[in-house]
């Protein structure tokens, strides 16, 4: 059963939330970061980029200490306030494409993470886990929730509908044209009801935030060892999560782009692909796969459809059936020589919102030799892989919603 608890969020005052909320730092270009830091003194980017004040790039432990200082300054200046009662928060996002996401912000258990009640489908990099753990240990807060999903549950849906009949605590639209709403839930009877419903849910699934949840788990282990009076109820035993039903999750594909054909001519490359695929030249037709185990390929000014030969490729588990894994074990690794999908500089990825026109453009430019398109992973595939204990290849999913940092902050 899943353990979810309410917490006293630190969050911006109602008049400043639209100015403070920020996308993930990595999603901005350098020019965008500079303009926001220059023109908006309330942006959360001032906290995570503390060197701006000194016109200097700062990293490592020195940066961590300055991040904490900027955060404390925002609290001292009344930009942030803290709720008096432990609460859950119902967070709704209507994005610029008209997609609607709504779920609960709460604190989830690192013990559930350890015991695989919170299930993973993606490998993490140890150095990133450790680096973020040290960051959390220094700053003492987390401002970006892990995105978790749960099987559709009518009781939780009814609670959200009931609460959302009231005026939201926040309602703001970003320059990205997404509209955000937040409702505070602090009624003790309702809090218990939400917790009791989640206790009946056997598993939660990480949709986005594998490194953040892993780092929170490592942090809890460290602080437990340092605390002789550890009880298991300390705030560090939990991490902030945004929990949405599976039906609200929007998953896009990540297309693959490879810089060269690994020394092969076009004809030699196509002949090697023929072992595992039925190949059809589609010319200038924008071919997008319509079913699993079908792939698109753009090569030398033409699109191709690649249909997996089922008689040649054997599927024995959920990972074997995953299109991004099939692409790796039949083409990317044996034919194109891509060993490490995370580190090899010959491969790059473009998420499906950029579509095949982007793939065509960058291949035609000569920056890449070939591009591959796949279908988006389904929530069912993601769940099966996690349940069977496998991990997807990196960049298998581009998942929405993408949350704003700083709207709710979890302190430990």
175 confidence band (pLDDT: 50, 70, 90):
confident
- What average pLDDT does range 231-256 have in this prediction? 96
Confidence bin at 403 (pLDDT 50/70/90): confident
- Decide if 317 contacts 388 (C-beta within 8 A): yes
User: Mean pLDDT across the stretch 79-96?
Assistant: 97
Q: Is the model's pLDDT at 88 over the cut of 90?
A: yes
Are 399 and 391 spatial neighbours (Cβ–Cβ below 8 Å)? Answer: no
Is the pLDDT at 27 greater than 90? The verdict is no
Partner residues linked to 141 by β-bridges: 411
pLDDT tens, position by position, 59-87: 899 999 999 999 999 999 999 999 999 99
Give the mean pLDDT of 13-36.
Answer: 91
Distance from C-alpha of 132 to C-alpha of 124, rounded to nearest angstrom: 12
From the list 86, 192, 166, the residue with the least C-alpha distance to 408 is 86
Q: Are 205 and 148 in contact (CB under 8 A)?
A: yes
Asked if residues 119 and 213 have their Cβ atoms less than 8 Å apart, the reply is no
- Between strands 204-208 and 118-119, the pairing is parallel
Tokens linked to 100 = 């609607």
d(CA 357, CA 337): 26
Structure tokens at 45: 């980017």
The pLDDT confidence band at residue 26, using thresholds 50, 70 and 90, is: confident
Largest CA distance in the chain: 69
Question: Residue 115, class by beta-carbon neighbours within 10 Å (0-12 exposed, 13-18 middle, 19+ buried)?
Answer: exposed
Q: Tell me, what's the pLDDT at 353?
A: 79
pLDDT digits (tens, 9 = 90+) for 125-153: 888 999 999 999 999 999 999 999 999 99
pLDDT per position as a tens digit, 358-390: 999 999 999 999 999 999 999 999 999 999 999
Q: What is the DSSP string of 296-361?
A: EEEETTEEEEEEE-TTTS---STTTT-HHHHHIIIIITTTT----TTT-TTEEEEEGGGHHHHHHH
3-class SS of residue 81: strand
82: Cβ contacts below 8 Å, ≥ 6 apart: 8, 9, 10, 11
Beta-strand relationship, 302-308 and 294-299 = antiparallel
Query: Looking at the DSSP assignment, which residues form a beta bridge with residue 296?
Result: 305, 373
Sign, CA torsion 225/132/411/162: negative
Average confidence (pLDDT) over 386-401: 93
In 3D space, the residue among 408, 319, 400, 312 whose CA is nearest the CA of residue 105 turns out to be 408
Distance CA 268, CA 306 (A): 16
- What is the CB-side half-sphere exposure of residue 123 using CA atoms within 13 A? 12
Band (pLDDT 50/70/90 cuts) for residue 55 is: confident
User: 277-331 pLDDT, tens per residue?
Assistant: 999 999 999 999 999 999 999 999 999 999 999 999 999 999 999 999 999 999 9
DSSP state of 408: S
* 228: Cβ contacts below 8 Å, ≥ 6 apart: none
- Residue-wise pLDDT for 316-353, tens only, equals 999 999 999 999 999 999 999 999 998 899 999 998 87
How far apart (Å, rounded) are the C-alpha atoms in residues 109 and 21?
Answer: 25
HSE-CB for 264 with a 13 A CA cutoff: 20
Is the torsion defined by CA of 170, 171, 172, 176 positive or negative? positive
The reply to whether omega before 401 is within 30° of 0 (cis) is: yes
- When mean pLDDT is compared across 22-36, 161-175, 203-217, the lowest value belongs to 22-36
Residue 28 has pLDDT above 90, yes or no: no
What's the mean per-residue pLDDT of the chain?
95
pLDDT at 343 (0 to 100): 86
Q: Dump pLDDT digits (tens) for 203-233.
A: 999 999 999 999 999 999 999 999 999 999 9
Please report the pLDDT score of residue 20 as a whole number.
Answer: 97
Beta bridge mates, 109: 238
Cα–Cα distance for residue pair 13/20, rounded to 1 Å: 9
């Amino acid at each position: 059963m899943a353990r979810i608890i309410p917490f006293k969020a630190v969050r911006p005052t109602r008049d400043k939330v639209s100015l403070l909320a920020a996308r993930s730092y990595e999603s901005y270009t350098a020019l965008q970061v500079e303009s926001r830091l220059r023109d908006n003194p309330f942006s959360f980017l001032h906290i995570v980029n503390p060197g701006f004040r000194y016109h200097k790039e700062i990293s490592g432990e020195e940066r961590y200490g300055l991040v904490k200082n900027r955060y404390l300054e925002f609290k001292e200046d009344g930009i942030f306030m803290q709720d008096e009662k432990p609460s859950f928060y119902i967070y709704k996002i209507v994005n610029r494409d008209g997609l609607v996401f709504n779920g609960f912000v709460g604190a989830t258990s690192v013990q559930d993470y350890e015991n695989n009640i919170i299930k993973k489908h993606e490998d993490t990099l140890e150095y990133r886990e450790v680096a973020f753990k040290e960051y959390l240990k220094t700053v003492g807060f987390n401002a970006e929730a892990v995105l978790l999903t749960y099987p559709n549950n009518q009781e939780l849906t009814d609670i959200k509908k009931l609460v959302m009949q009231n005026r939201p605590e926040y309602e703001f639209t970003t320059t990205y044209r997404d509209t955000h709403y937040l409702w505070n839930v602090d009624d003790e009877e309702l809090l218990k009801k939400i917790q009791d419903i989640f206790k009946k849910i056997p598993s939660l699934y990480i949709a986005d935030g594998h490194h953040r949840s892993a780092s929170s788990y490592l942090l809890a282990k460290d602080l437990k060892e340092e605390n002789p009076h550890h009880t298991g109820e300390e705030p560090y035993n939990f991490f902030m999560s945004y929990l949405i039903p599976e039906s609200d999750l929007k998953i896009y594909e990540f297309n693959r782009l490879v810089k060269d054909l690994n020394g092969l001519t076009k004809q030699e490359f196509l002949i090697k692909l023929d072992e595992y695929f039925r190949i059809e030249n589609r010319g200038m037709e924008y071919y997008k796969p319509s079913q699993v185990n079908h792939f698109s390929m753009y090569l030398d000014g033409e699109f191709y459809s690649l249909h997996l030969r089922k008689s040649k490729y054997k599927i024995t588990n959920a990972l074997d059936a995953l299109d991004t894994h099939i692409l790796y074990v039949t083409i990317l690794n044996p034919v194109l020589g891509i060993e490490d999908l995370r580190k090899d500089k010959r491969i790059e990825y473009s998420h499906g919102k950029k579509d095949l026109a982007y793939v065509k453009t960058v291949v035609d430019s000569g920056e890449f030799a070939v591009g591959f398109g796949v279908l988006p992973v389904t929530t069912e595939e993601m769940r099966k892989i996690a349940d069977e204990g496998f991990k997807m290849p990196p960049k298998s999913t581009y998942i929405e919603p993408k949350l704003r940092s700083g709207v709710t902050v979890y302190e430990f």
